[in-house]
Chains A and B, each alone.
Chain A
Amino acid sequence: MIRLLDLRSEKSGYCFPVSEKMWGILGRRAVDGGFSASSFRRMRSGLVSARSYAAGSKEMTVRDALNSAIDEEMSADPKVFVMGEEVGQYQGAYKITKGLLEKYGPERVYDTPITEAGFTGIGVGAAYAGLKPVVEFMTFNFSMQAIDHIINSAAKSNYMSAGQINVPIVFRGPNGAAAGVGAQHSQCYAAWYASVPGLKVLAPYSAEDARGLLKAAIRDPDPVVFLENELLYGESFPISEEALDSSFCLPIGKAKIEREGKDVTITTFSKMVGFALKAAEKLAEEGISAEVINLRSIRPLDRATINASVRKTSRLVTVEEGFPQHGVCAEICASVVEESFSYLDAPVERIAGADVPMPYAANLERLALPQVEDIVRAAKRACFRSK
C-alpha cells in the first residue's frame, strides 16, 4: 500500500491510502508523458482516472476545442462575430479567441471597453437586427453587470414580441470557481440563468462537449448562456474524427451518460464531471457501480435521461460546484422526487459548494468546493440506506 499525501489535509497530517492499482495508473500517466500543469495538479491531489486511449486517437484541449468551434462558425457564417474584453489584440484573456483577430480582422472581432452593460446591450441589439454575436464575459461574475440585457432584453423578447424578434446570441465565458480568485470571482451562475424561460444554458465538460455544444449554440436562433470552466481550458481530452469535422454539433437538451452503472446515479456538469468519474472509480473498488451523467445542458434539462437512470439505479447523488440553495441540484432532486418517487430506495443526495462566499485561503477554498470524497461518501450513503 502506498500512502499518498493529500494536500487538502496537509495540516492535520491525515493521509489516505492509495492502492497498488492507483499507483499503477499514476505510474502509467507519468510514462505517457501527457503532463499538463493541471494534470500534475490533479495527481498531487490524489487520484487520476484512467482514460482509455484508442491507438492513434487525437487529443484536444478544451481551449483549442472552443477556439476551433468559434473559428469554424465564423468561417461558415459571415453574420457571426465576436465581442468582449481583450478578445482581439490580447488574443483573449484565456486565449480562447486566439488568432481570430488576425484571421478575420477587426470587422469580425471587437475589443470592447470594460462596460458590460453597454456592450452586452449592443450585442443583443445586433442580434435583434439579425447578426449572430458571440459575447464573451471575462468571467460570468461580470455578467451580473449586464444581467438585465441577458434576461429582459434577450431571453424574453421572442415571447413578448410573439415571435417577431428572436435573439440568436451566445453569451460565453468561464463560470464558477477557479483557483484562489476569491469571493467575487468564483460564483457559479448555472442556477440563475437556467431558471429563466427563453434562455438556453449549456455547460460543456470535455473537448468534444466544448466543440459540439458551442457550435450548436452559435447556430441556435435563441439566446444561449454558455458556461465554460477556467480550470478545464488546459485539459486534454481524446477527440473523435467525427467531432473534429466542421459540421459537428451536439444536440441541445440532451445529457450524456459518461459512465454506465447500476447502483447509483450521479448527475453533474462541467468540472465536476471529472470529479464524479473519479468518484465512480473509487466506488467501483468498493463494489458500487455508479452511473455518471454529464448534464451538458442545464436548460433545457434532460429530465428524461436523469429519471430513466434513477429508475434503473434507485439512487441519486446530484453534484454541482455552485451555491446549494435553489441550485441546479435542487431542481434535479425535485424532478426525481416528483417523477420517480416510487423507484427511489434512498433519499436524494446533493453535493454542492459550501453555503458561504468563496474564501481565499487554499484550505478553506478546498472545503468550500465539492471534492471527490464528498461524492463518494454521498453515494455510499445512498447505497447503504436501502432495504
Chain B
Amino acid sequence: MALSRLSSRSKGISRPLSAAFSRSISTDTTPITIETSLPFTAHLCDPPSRSVESSTQELLSFFRTMALMRRMEIAADSLYKAKLIRGFCHLYDGQEAVAIGMEAAITKKDAIITAYRDHCIFLGRGGSLYEVFAELMGRQDGCSKGKGGSMHFYKKDSSFYGGHGIVGAQVPLGCGIAFAQKYSKEEAVTFAMYGDGAANQGQLFEALNISALWDLPSILVCENNHYGMGTAEWRAAKSPSYYKRGDYVPGLKVDGMDAFAVKQACKFAKEHALKNGPIILEMDTYRYHGHSMSDPGSTYRTRDEISGVRQERDPIERIKKLVLSHDLATEKELKDMEKEIRKEVDDAIAKAKDCPMPEPSELFTNVYVKGFGTESFGADRKEVKAALP
C-alpha cells in the first residue's frame, strides 16, 4: 500500500515541507469525496456544497502536515520554557485545520497575511522547520535572520506577508495587497486573517468598506477561537456573528476544526472574491494554549472546556479517523509517521540550536533599502556608529 513508500523518504530537515513531502506521501491521487461534518452558514450568499473533492494523497498530507504543525508548536512551548525563545510566543495548536485547509484551496500566487500566531501559516506557505526554530531562538538562519522573532515571519516568494504584532493592522494591509493584485491584474486573491479579538477593530471596517467600494479580491478570515486574549467573545462583541459583521459584505461560517470544510470555504471564497469583491469567512476554531506563553489559558476558561474540545473536535483526530476509515494507513503506520515527525522536529531544533546569533553588524542592516551612507548610532553614539548602506 501507499505507506511503504513513506518509510523510505530522505531525512532532509531543512528542505521546504513540499519537497520533504513528495517523497514521503503516496503519489496515489485517487479522488475521494469527503463530507464536511457541519453545514455552512451563509450570509448574503449561497453556501457551497458539503461535499469536498479531495484525494488520498491530500488526505494523507493533511494528516502529516497538521501533525508536523502540532509537534512544532508543542516543541516551541518547551523551548520557551527553557528560555531559548524570548519575548512573545503565540501558539497555534488546535487551529491547524485552518492553515492546512486554506493552503489546499489556493496557490502561492494568492497572498496570506496574518497576525502574530503565524508559525504554522509560515510552514504552510513553504517555510522550513529549521527557519522557524532558528528565528524563534533569534539565530542568523531564521527566516527573518533573527531580527523579527516569533511575530514577524515572512515569505514573500510565497506571497506570505507576515507576521504582524499590532492587532487588526494586518487587515487593511491585506486589503492593500488585494488592491495590488487587482491593479496588476494578477487573478489572485488575498486572505487577511484575524482573530475574534481583532474583529471589533475600526480599521477592519474601514478596509472592508473600501474593498467593497473598489471590488477588491480580499477575503477576510476571522479565526474565531472564542477568546481575545482573556476576554471571551460574548464580553467583547455585541454581535459575535463575525461572518455577518460585514453587513453588506457576504459571509460564511465554517467549522474551523474540519480541514475539508476550510478547504471548501476558501475555494468558494476565492471564486467569489475574484468576481464579486470581498467576502468574510468565520472559522469556528479553538486554541489549546493560552493567548501566548505568558498566559496559562485556564483562568478564563475551564480545563473541561479545553479537554472537551480536544476530545470532540480535534482537527488531527478527525483526519486520522478519515485516514483509517478510508484504509489509507494503519494505526501503527500513523504512529510511525508521528514518530518520524517528532524526530524531524527534534533534528531541526538541534540544528537551530547550533546556529550562531546574528553578527553585531546586523544591528544596522535593513533599516533602509537605500541608506545613502547616512550615519546610524548605537547606544553610545561616540562608541558605536555605522554608515547605512
Contacts and interface: CB of A to CB of B under 8 A. Distances in A.
Interface string A70-104: 00000000000100000000000000000000000
A222 interface: yes
A369 B79 CA distance: 56
9 contacts: A112-B210, A113-B213, A117-B202, A117-B203, A121-B206, A125-B177, A126-B177, A128-B173, A162-B146
Interface stretch (A20-28, A147-155, A260-268, A352-360): A147-155
Contacts of B369: 158, 163, 166, 221-222
Nearest to B111: A129
A125 B156 CA distance: 13
Contacts of B177: 125-126, 128-129
B249 interface: no
B368 interface: yes
Given A113-B210, A115-B210, A221-B369, A120 B183 contact: no
Contacts of A157: 162
Contact of A117 (B113, B147, B152, B206): B206
Contacts of B379: none
Contacts of B173: 121-122, 124-125, 128, 149, 153
B162 A118 contact: no
A115 B203 CA distance: 8
Count chain B CB atoms within 10 A of each CB in A107, A122, A131, A159 and give the residue with the most.
A122
A324 interface: no
Contacts of B381: 338
B367 A197 contact: yes
A275 to B, nearest CB: 27
Contacts of B154: 160-161, 164-165
Contacts of B162: 157, 160-161, 165
B179 A118 contact: no
Interface size class of A (residues with CB under 8 A): 35 or more
B169 interface: yes
A129 B157 CA distance: 11
B53 to A, nearest CB: 30
Interface residues of B, number: 53
A253 B146 CA distance: 29
B306 interface: no
Given A118-B172, A122-B175, A200 B368 contact: yes
A377 B149 CA distance: 52
Given A119-B206, A152-B169, 15 more contacts: A117-B202, A118-B205, A118-B206, A118-B210, A119-B172, A126-B176, A148-B169, A152-B165, A158-B368, A160-B147, A162-B144, A162-B145, A222-B370, A251-B372, A253-B372
Contact of B172 (A121, A197, A252): A121
Interface in A264-310: 300, 303
Interface string B155-188: 1100001111110010111111111110110000
A338 B176 CA distance: 43
Nearest to A155: B367
A127 B371 CA distance: 19
B362 to A, nearest CB: 8
A259 to B, nearest CB: 25
B366 interface: yes
Nearest to A120: B172
B228 interface: no
A121 B367 contact: no
A15 to B, nearest CB: 47
Nearest to B372: A253
A204 interface: no
A149 B368 contact: no
Nearest to B142: A162
Interface string B118-147: 000000000000000000000000001111
A112 B211 CA distance: 11
Contact of B152 (A118, A161, A163): A161
B375 interface: yes
A152 B166 CA distance: 8
A251 B373 CA distance: 12
A127 B369 CA distance: 14
B366 A220 contact: no
Contact of A81 (B178, B183, B370): B183
Given A159-B367, A160-B144, A149 B172 contact: yes
A115 B234 CA distance: 27
A14 B165 CA distance: 57
A81 B165 CA distance: 28
Contact of A161 (B144, B178, B183, B374): B144
Contacts of B161: 125, 128-129, 165
